[in-house]
Amino acid sequence: MHDQDVIVIGGGPAGLAAATELAARKFRALVLEREDFGGQLKKAAWFRGHPNYPQGVAGPELAERLLAAAQAAGVRLEYGEVESIESFSSAYSVTCVNGSNYLAPHIILAGGRRRLPLGIPGEAEFLNRGVIHCVLCDAGLYAGQTVAVCGGGDAGLSEALTLAQAGARVIVIERTSALKAGTGLQAEARSAHNIEFLFDTVPERIDGKQVVESLSVCNIISGARRELALAGIVVAVGTVPPTAWLDDLVTLDISGAVIVDERMATSNARIYAVGDIRGNSDLNLAGAQRDGATVSGALQE
């Protein structure tokens, strides 16, 4: 007899939605989360694009609503970074970095995606000393100062707007000749008086003494280099699914995302994947929650 019927690895929107649906159907669901329940919503100042919130909603507020719904349904929530899954005849054994071990007949992978690093000198050295990973947490510290946001997609412009609204001067650095964000975000960012853009530009080196003081950049068309005096740098150049630790447990696509069928089932019996960790994901909250509902139905078959 196992303490749970299903272990959900990842406590973001998709994982919480799946666990909540399953608990409502009388499954004993355990969610293991390595960092923050609610996932990236906890770091989003304002969330747009969900049909239930046409005017948008504060990210942390929405994360708390999802968490409260899971708790009300009876979902068991624990912190733990999973390092391995071992298959037995009737169950999977899940082991965390802290040594905790759990058994369940079903696994749901819901680890979302993680941001890619810039991979330039100074990035690791100045992490949390000017290289900013939580804009919502730190935006107020940069009022009246200049911050670079590397990346012109949805994530980058959302971070830029949060910083600008907190009073920072923001420089968005995009390696191509155009922004990749949605038209609404682009319009909002372009209308902000304290956001400017550098196109066809790549970051090359972060410098400073105790904290970030400058970023060296290069225009990939002209080859011209310049040094930007900065107090902070936000990295938003893309994301990857955190699946390297899975080894050969499930089949991955060329990007590292988990391949699933229409039931969210992977190549391994009784292992499912939902949300941004899977291939062909919608990469939005509504899609993640639909995945959760789909997999809960599949487990009940």
Res 224: pLDDT: 98
Tell me phi and psi for residue 207, to 5 degrees. Answer: -130, 160
Q: In which band, very low, low, confident or very high, does the pLDDT at 283 lie, cut at 50, 70 and 90? A: low
Helix axes 285-300 and 13-24, enclosed angle (nearest 10): 30
Res 69: pLDDT: 95
Distance of CA 199 to the CA centre of its chain: 25
- Residue partners of 27: CB distance under 8 A and separation at least 6: 5, 6, 296, 299, 300
Can you tell me which residue has the tokens 């939005």?
Answer: 284
If we measure between CA atoms, which residue out of 131, 298, 270 comes closest to residue 212?
A: 131
Question: How many CB atoms lie under 10 A from the CB of residue 256?
Answer: 15
Distance of CA 157 to the CA centre of its chain: 15
Per-residue b or e along 144-176, where b marks 16 or more CB atoms closer than 10 Å to that residue's CB: eebbbbbbbbbbbbbbbbbbbebebbbbbbbbe
Q: Is the pLDDT of residue 1 over 60?
A: no
pLDDT in tens, 94-146: 999 999 999 999 999 999 999 899 999 999 999 989 998 888 888 889 999 99
Distance of CA 147 to the CA centre of its chain: 21
pLDDT in tens, 159-208: 999 999 999 999 999 999 999 998 999 999 999 999 999 999 999 999 99
- Which DSSP string do the residues of 225-264 spell out, in sequence order? EEEEE-SEEEE-S-EE---GGGTTSS-B-TTSPBP--TT-
Res 2: pLDDT: 66
Domains and CATH numbers, the chain: 6-113+241-300 (3.50.50.60), 131-235 (3.50.50.60)
| Predicted TM-score of the model (pTM) | 0.86
